[in-house]
Amino acid sequence: MQVSYSAESVLDSTISRNDLRVLLVYPNTRDVAMANLGFQQVYSLLNKIEGVVCDRFAMPVGWKPETQSLNREELRSMDMQMHPLDFDVIAFSISFEPDYLNTVLALKYFGIPLDREERDASFPMITAGGSAIFINPEPLAECMDVLFIGEGEGMAEGFFGLLHENVDRDEFFERAVSIPGIYLPQHYRPRMEQDLQVGISPLEGAPARVVRHWVTQEETLCTHSVLHDEDSTFKDMALMEVTRGCIWACRFCTAGFIYRPPRLPDLNKTYDSMDTLLTGLGKSAQTIGLVGPSVTDHPDLPALARKITKQGKKLSFSSLRMETLTDELVDLILQSGQKTLTVAVDAPSERMRDVINKAATDDFIVEKCRFLTRKGILHLKIYSIIGLPLETEDDIDQFLRLVERVQEGYVDECRKLGRIGQITIGLSPLVPKPGTPFQWHPMESVKSLKKKFARVRKALGKIPHLKMSFGSPNEAYLQTYLSRGDRNTQAFFKTYLNNGHDAKSALKEHPVDEYVYRQYEKNDYLPWDIVDHGYRENFLWEDYQRGLKAAHTPVCDTAICHICGLC
């Protein structure tokens, strides 16, 4: 089999009879799929494996979940125009838990039974990977044949290379169960009590827990766009990974925990590889999107930014930390044409920032916003999470005062410049994610969150040059359920498929509150504990307790820190 990328961004392939045909599915629309760097990376990885040919599928642009079916043309793969049932493997790439609903819809559209037990070897093998999966694989465990736990590099080659060598599926599973990062749910038996999963037991030959796979040699990391100029939410932008993982260990954030230890790719190597590939396709991008949980942590970022701007290209940052925003970086951002920056305060008060392990005072935030405005950033976005552990109305009061101070400083600096833009305040409910210290904590009630948002809207609504946006508490409720679910979530998926795809109605038919509003105790069974992230025992629980005392944990410095046990 020979495979290459053509100038039309279509997979050119000559498929032999013995090639393993894999359909990589992003369970959302095509424009969202093409803006997802992980999806592109796995597509590239699979097409480099000898004997494997990988094609892509995503929902048509404009698709809505209410759609009951897709026509045959809409079901064809993006490159080779094949039907999903003509592939040997269908592999879902899932970054966000709400896309679980789109995953089960895709199987319905494909004509594939949701229950693994209802499928025989005449159907493609159904697999899933991505960050949502190795946060908690159990919600899809009754559906999937295989779940990939961890990062794709190294794991994909081992799994699909072995699969290409094995004709008999059962024989393959017997061998694959021992591959690090490969979770075969049928090799485990869950224990249920009153519609809740209370334990799980491995069958003979399966490990008690599945060890997360991660890339140990950071110099091998080279993740960037391999396809460009197709439908994408990021127009004329190519993406490259700048950091993997994050040193800051904010207690609400999965990126600071499930990608441990943090690693720094070679930026010149990654950029040059991307530029050579896309230029060869005649698809060189004018905007370079720098991707990572905290891209300004990379010591080589300023040099790369200078290189890109000297080439006349623009920069776009997925994340910026106030602590690491320097004069030079802001100048480079402005030179590249970016006029809006997000200041993530992450919590409404100084006390709450201590709870989440973020050391940023109100004075520091106000001065940083003044600095950015003074430099010429006229559009600021202030982002915070609401509904954190121990949060009170006083914390909301402090947030309102912080916003007023930021606004006063902003207007003052804009007056000196002689021009003004807008501040946007963005608030989102906490979704307590598995794999973080807040995994034991319940989500704040939807009713309480709505009251807090209404209070903020009323208090700040008349301030000039200020816009507000609020994450939906109802959507956060659904996401928390899908994040913390177990194998009983399969019943919810069936209700959703059978009621015309109405998630709100389906939630009412299942004991969702038992997952969303549950306060877990130290020794309670956690469905996602099937994943072994490599931490020492009790590390996350101890950090949760530190958070409840508003105490800090050091940043994740792999050279000197041993607190989590990975290094």
Q: pLDDT by residue (tens digit) across 157-185? A: 999 999 998 878 999 999 999 899 999 99
CA dist., res. 404 & res. 135, Å (int): 37
CA dist., res. 528 & res. 315, Å (int): 37
Burial class of 472 by CB neighbour count within 10 A (0 to 12, 13 to 18, 19+):
middle
Confidence at residue 319, expressed as pLDDT on a 0 to 100 scale: 73
Is the pLDDT reported for residue 414 higher than 80? Answer: yes
pLDDT in tens, 418-471: 999 999 999 999 999 999 999 999 999 999 999 999 999 999 999 999 999 999
pTM of the model: 0.95
Residue 176: strand, helix, or coil: helix
pLDDT in tens, 63-95: 999 999 999 999 999 999 999 999 999 999 999
Helix axes 267-280, 301-310, angle to 10 degrees: 30
The more confidently predicted of residues 31 and 557 is 31
* Distance in angstroms between the alpha carbons of the first and the last residue of the chain: 41
Average pLDDT, the chain: 93
Give the DSSP letter of residue 111. T
Confidence at residue 1, expressed as pLDDT on a 0 to 100 scale: 35
Confidence at residue 2, expressed as pLDDT on a 0 to 100 scale: 34
Amino acid at 21: R
Confidence at residue 229, expressed as pLDDT on a 0 to 100 scale: 60
Q: Which two tokens stand for residue 514?
A: 């038992």
CA dist., res. 385 & res. 355, Å (int): 12
Is the pLDDT reported for residue 6 higher than 90? Answer: no
Confidence at residue 497, expressed as pLDDT on a 0 to 100 scale: 98
Is the pLDDT reported for residue 233 higher than 70? Answer: no
Among residues 33, 28, 439, 475, which one has the least CA distance to residue 254? 439
Confidence at residue 194, expressed as pLDDT on a 0 to 100 scale: 85
HSE-up of residue 185 (Cα within 13 Å, Cβ side): 26
Kindly write down the DSSP assignment for every residue of 112-149, as one continuous string.
Answer: --SSGGG--TTSPEEEEESHHHHH--GGGTTT-SEEE-
C-alpha radius of gyration, the chain, whole number: 24
Burial class of 60 by CB neighbour count within 10 A (0 to 12, 13 to 18, 19+):
middle
Confidence at residue 3, expressed as pLDDT on a 0 to 100 scale: 39
Is the pLDDT reported for residue 203 higher than 50? Answer: yes
CA dist., res. 438 & res. 1, Å (int): 47
SS3 of 208-268: the string is CCEECECCCCHHHCCCECCCCCCCCCCCCEEEEECCECCCCCCCCCHHHCCCCCCECCCHH
Residue 183, strand partner residues: 147
CA dist., res. 198 & res. 195, Å (int): 9
Q: At 230, is the pLDDT very low, low, confident or very high (cuts 50, 70, 90)?
A: low
Q: Which two tokens stand for residue 91?
A: 């592999």
Tell me what the mean pLDDT of segment 542-546 comes to. Answer: 97
Q: Which two tokens stand for residue 90?
A: 């269908």
pLDDT in tens, 325-352: 899 999 998 988 888 899 899 999 999 9
Is the pLDDT reported for residue 500 higher than 80? Answer: yes
HSE-up of residue 124 (Cα within 13 Å, Cβ side): 23
Q: Which two tokens stand for residue 457?
A: 């809207």
Strands 188-193 and 196-202, sheet pairing: antiparallel
Burial class of 529 by CB neighbour count within 10 A (0 to 12, 13 to 18, 19+):
middle
Q: At 210, is the pLDDT very low, low, confident or very high (cuts 50, 70, 90)?
A: very high
CA dist., res. 201 & res. 115, Å (int): 20
Q: Is the peptide bond before 261 cis (omega within 30 degrees of 0)?
A: yes
Strands (DSSP E) found in 431-518:
466-470
Average the pLDDT over each of 40-54, 59-73, 318-332, 507-521 and give the range with the smallest value: 318-332
Quick count: other Cβ atoms within 10 Å of Cβ 510? 18
Tell me what the mean pLDDT of segment 118-141 comes to. Answer: 97
Confidence at residue 174, expressed as pLDDT on a 0 to 100 scale: 92
Q: Is 435 left (phi over 0), alpha (psi -120 to 50) or beta?
A: left
Q: What are phi and psi of 72, to 5 degrees?
A: -60, -35
Is the pLDDT reported for residue 10 higher than 70? Answer: no
Confidence at residue 9, expressed as pLDDT on a 0 to 100 scale: 37
Contact 329, 296 (CB under 8 A): yes
Is the pLDDT reported for residue 98 higher than 60? Answer: yes
